[in-house]
Amino acid sequence: MFLPENIDLAHSEEYNLSIRLTPDGFSFCIHNPADPSVFHYQGTSLGNQLSYIDHIKKVIFDLGFFSQAFKRTSVTIVSPYYTLVPEAYYDRKKVRELYQFNFHPKEGSVLVDNFREGAYRILFDLDEELHAFLSRNLWNPLFLHHTGSLLRLFHSCRKEQERKSCFVDFHDRSMTIICFSGEMLLCANTFPAVNIHDTNYFIASVWEKLGLDQSADRLFLSGQIPPHTATVEMLKKLVRHVDTVNLHPRVIMEEEQLHTLPTDILADLCE
């Protein structure tokens, strides 16, 4: 495996390792928080010759360095199965019960991602075998959900607090829609974004159910926008204020990466 010459894993404690798991892919990035020139991203799709879990095990064992002591090791789970619980209702002893209000996991682990700015927790599940494997083979890993990074980013991007803001991030053949009214979070949901008609329907339904004003409220787009050009053109005809989210990661990367890397990865690199 190729790593840039300026990454010396003999000093792994200087780097942050971020792993990202999607339903059909595995990717990771390594960067040095103290040196913007040190950054590497690599991803691979998971084939069908092995099971999902066995394929991830193989990648980690083959590359061999994931168990080293990094400054920070995180695993981001990209999944539509999550629920948000306000801090006032959160009880760590009832995490599974709270999660099951919306979903019914089998025997998976129910994990928690904290979103401090909004005073609520993101509950999501992960296969128990995979969770145990990653916990054993990574150095003190922090398990996160992809919406956590998006929520922190979009919360800081709201321009007019008196108006409602809708953010649509396209990623992994999906889209995550997050809406605010001032400081208040109105919704956070992830939908499939494969069929243009379904994509348009989901976005339009969110606007209708939340009572967003097409003339006054704002729509922000981010992520893998080019494959959804037809959807974007339709939205621009319906919504007066349509903008894109501009990101400025604190690392040096190629221009192509700035436009192709998932927004949740870029958002973490902006912090």
Domain boundaries, the chain: 159-244
Residues 140 and 134: their CA atoms lie apart, in Å, by 9
Query: Where is average pLDDT lowest: 3-7, 80-84, 130-134, 227-231?
Result: 3-7
Domain 159-244 CATH assignment equals 1.10.287.70: no
pLDDT surpassing 60 at residue 39: yes
3-state secondary structure of 1: coil
246, pLDDT greater than 70? yes
| Number of neighbouring beta carbons within 10 Å of residue 158 | 17
3-state secondary structure of 240: coil
- pLDDT-based confidence at residue 160 (cuts at 50, 70, 90): low
pTM, full prediction = 0.94
**Burial (CB count <10 Å: 0-12, 13-18, 19+), residue 57:** middle
How does residue 117 score in pLDDT terms, banded at 50, 70 and 90? low
Contact at 8 Å (CB) between 152 and 245? no
Handedness of CA 67, 256, 76, 196 (dihedral sign): negative
Q: Is the model's pLDDT at 118 over the cut of 70?
A: no
Cα 175 from chain centroid? 10
Q: What is the mean pLDDT of residues 56-70?
A: 94
Q: Is the pLDDT of residue 255 over 60?
A: yes
**Tell me, what's the pLDDT at 161?**
65
pLDDT above 90 (res 102): no
The secondary structure of residue 237, as a DSSP letter, is: H
